[in-house]
Amino acid sequence: MILGEFAGLTGDDQQLLTSTFHAWVVADGSIDDAAHALSCHPNTVRYRMRRIEKVTDRSLRVPRDLAELCLAFEIRERL
């Protein structure tokens, strides 16, 4: 399960990483635009995106992994 390890995070952490991923996707992968939308520093977005990669064991630079993450977050949002 792609987001299975999210269960081990606090609810606040889950929401923070989910909202960061969503902002990053909406910003077409722009760290700066995502940071602006989230009102935080770009390094904060980078850190959160690395956490997502670590927790999910997926790389945002690998197209298949990115597609899996997009789909997993979309499904999670709809449940």
CA atoms 35, 43, 67, 11: torsion sign: negative
Burial call 37-57: b when 16+ CB within 10 Å, e when fewer: bbeeeeeebeebbeebbebbe
Q: Which domains are present in the chain? A: 4-78 (1.10.10.2840)
Give the residue-averaged pLDDT of 53-75.
96
Global pTM reads: 0.93
CB 2 within 8 A of CB 56: yes
The yes-or-no verdict on residue 49 having pLDDT over 90 is: yes
Cα atoms in the Cβ-side hemisphere of radius 13 Å centred on 68: 16
Residues 35-47 pLDDT 10s: 999 999 999 999 9
Q: How many residues does the chain have?
A: 79
